[in-house]
Structure formats: structure tokens, C-alpha cells
Amino acid sequence: MNKNRICGIAALLFLMASAVPAGQIEMSVVAGSMSPNSPAGVGVAELARKITEYSGGAIQAKAFYEAQLGDARSAVQGLQQGTVDIAVAGNSYFSSVVPDIQAFELPFLFGNYAEARKALDSDAIDPVKAQLETKGIKNLAFWEIGFRHLTNNVRPVKSMADVKGLKLRTLPAAIQVKTWENFGALPTAIDSSELYSALQTGVVVGQENSIGEIYTKKLQEVQKYMSLTGHVYTPTCLGMSLRTWRKLDSGQREVVLKAVVDATKAAREASDRDEAVMLAELEKSRLEIEKNPDLAQFKETAKKSYDLFIEGNAGRKALVDAILAAKK
């Protein structure tokens, strides 16, 4: 973030603070770079509204979208520093703070949304929450970007054999890159903002992403084939600055937690609704969609990614085992 941007954010936060009446708390609820219409944006709006409502106006929560207070990376840093009160961002932005959070994105860990939500709402993830707290972030909930699917311009992908040799843009995390190498692809890291042009010009021939990201980035315009592989579930972490949390009394904390329940419901309902609508629209596009690819070899090969993630780490093995048990 450049110096002018930092100064601008500091000035905005100062103006917010200076406008707060005595005894009233001003609270920022940040969606990073995500829009108000995204599931995370819907959840952030509901969270801000409910915190204000349940506190009887004693807490004035304000939602911020589309990098108004900085992008996802700076939002996570803001949580640690106490300059951002509440923020939601993809798990990958928290992985540099707590690497074990990558467990939630192991390939084929979850078979559907019900399994994923059940596990992420359980105490199986308590070790990750505890690690986040040591880094100054209190986890309030996990929302989602969704399940990731494969698109490309070369051929329909009906089985893992069809992936061989495809140059794909994937998540830059080491586990994700190794997973696609094991599948036979040639993964490469490209910033999300450059993905459309990279596909258009042939820098890469394919990519993997959620239905929402594929649709909103209009990747159907520059891709021919899509396979509903659902190979990775991508959560988003809703965090609160531990500095902010510690300033609240017990009643105010209850208000926040009650509001989080409502916001989580709203975000997940928006995710379900949007995905159904967007998939229907993608079906009308130029994409040829393989709805039932053979995933057997994908799943067998994915076991290597679990071994790489755990790699003799007893804590990580216990975490993965707990998640697998909790999703049932």
C-alpha cells in the first residue's frame, strides 16, 4: 500500500473517531476488496446492521467494501494492529499468519456445503482459532467463497487424465500448487486481476475457481470447457481485532456474537442463492459444462497433498482427523 493510501485511511479513521459522541463506540466492519453484492458483502452489511441494532445504537458499526479501507491483505494486518475492528477475507490471506488454516482447503476434504459448514461451525477448528488469537485476531465465524471448479480452452475434462499438460492458473499456496502438479497439470501463479487477460492471450489455458468468481469475472467469455470438479472448498475467515474485543464489556461481546449468528446465516443464504443463479447463467453461455466428471483418480491422488501438509506434524494430523470426524 502506498504512502498516500495509508495517509488517506488514517485520515478517514481519525474523522470517524472524532465524530463519535461520548460513550458511543464506532466499529468498522470490512469486506476487503469484495463488493456489497457478494455473499461476504451481504454478510458484512447484516453484521454492521445487527451490531448497531442489538446494541441499541451504543455501538455504531459501519460496513466498508471494495478496498475502501484497503485490500484483504491490509485488512488482516489491520486486525492485528487494531486499526480495523472486524474484517472478512479468504483463508489464504490468513495463512501467512497461521499456516494451519490451510487445512480447510485440502483437496476433497468436503463433499458438499453441509459437510463444510458443519465442520467449520464445530470445535474441531478450535486449534486454529487459538493460533489466530496468539496473532491478535479473534475468529468469529467462517463464511465461504465456495467450491472450486476447473475451466480450460483445450479439451473437456472428464477424468484426471484430461488434465495432463494443461497450463493452469491456481492458488499460489504451496499445497495447491503441488496438488495440481500431482494431477498432471502445469500450475502457475497469476494475480486474480490479471487472470482474464492471461486466459484471453493464452498465457495460461485454464484456471480453477468458484462459480461466483468465474461468473463475476466473466471468465466464460475466454474459456470453452468447464468441469464441476468441486476439488477444493474455499472458506473466508471472519475475524475481529483482539484489541477491539478486549475493549468490550461482556454485554457488548454478547451483542457482537449474536449479530455474527445472523450475519453468518445471511452470508450463507446469499452464497447458495447466488451460486444457483450464476450456474444457470453459465449454462447458457459458450461454456461446455461437464457436470459429472470421474473424480476417483483425482481423490486418490489428492491423498499426497494431505501427506505433504501433515509431514510428521502431529498437531496438523490431529486437526485434519478432527475436521474429518466433525463433517459427518
How does pLDDT run across 140-172, given as a tens digit for each residue? 999 999 999 999 999 999 999 999 999 999 987
**What is the pLDDT, as a whole number, of residue 18?**
45
Residue 326's closest CA among 126, 62, 82, 70?
Answer: 126
Q: Which residues of 94-130 are buried (b: 16+ CB within 10 A; e: fewer)?
A: bbebbbbbbbbbbbbbbeebebbbebbeeebbebbbe
Provide the whole-model pTM.
0.88
User: Please, are residues 150 and 229 in contact by the beta-carbon 8 Å criterion?
Assistant: yes
Give the residues of the chain that fall short of pLDDT 70.
Answer: 1-22
> In sequence order, what DSSP letters do the residues of 232-274 get, joined into one string?
EEEEEEEEEEHHHHHHS-HHHHHHHHHHHHHHHHHHHHHHHHH
**What is the pLDDT, as a whole number, of residue 9?**
53
**What is the pLDDT, as a whole number, of residue 137?**
98
**What is the pLDDT, as a whole number, of residue 5?**
53
> 82: burial class by Cβ within 10 Å (0-12, 13-18, 19+)?
middle
Which residues neighbour 43 within 8 Å (Cβ) at sequence distance 6 or greater? 88, 143, 238, 263, 264, 266, 267, 270
Could you give the C-alpha distances from 155 to 37, 123, 168, in angstroms and in order?
Answer: 33, 42, 13
**What is the pLDDT, as a whole number, of residue 318?**
97
Q: How many CA atoms lie within 13 A of 4 on its CB side?
A: 0
- CA separation for the pair 93, 188 (Å, rounded): 18
> In sequence order, what DSSP letters do the residues of 194-245 get, joined into one string?
GHHHHHHHTS-SEEEEEHHHHHHTTGGGS--EEEEEEEEEEEEEEEEEHHHH
**Domains identified in the chain and CATH numbers:** 3-145+235-277 (3.40.190.170), 149-232+285-326 (3.40.190.170)
Q: How far apart are the first and last CA of the chain?
A: 43
User: Please, are residues 210 and 146 in contact by the beta-carbon 8 Å criterion?
Assistant: yes
Residue 298's closest CA among 236, 244, 198, 231?
Answer: 231
As given in the structure block, the three cell numbers for residue 319 are 486437526
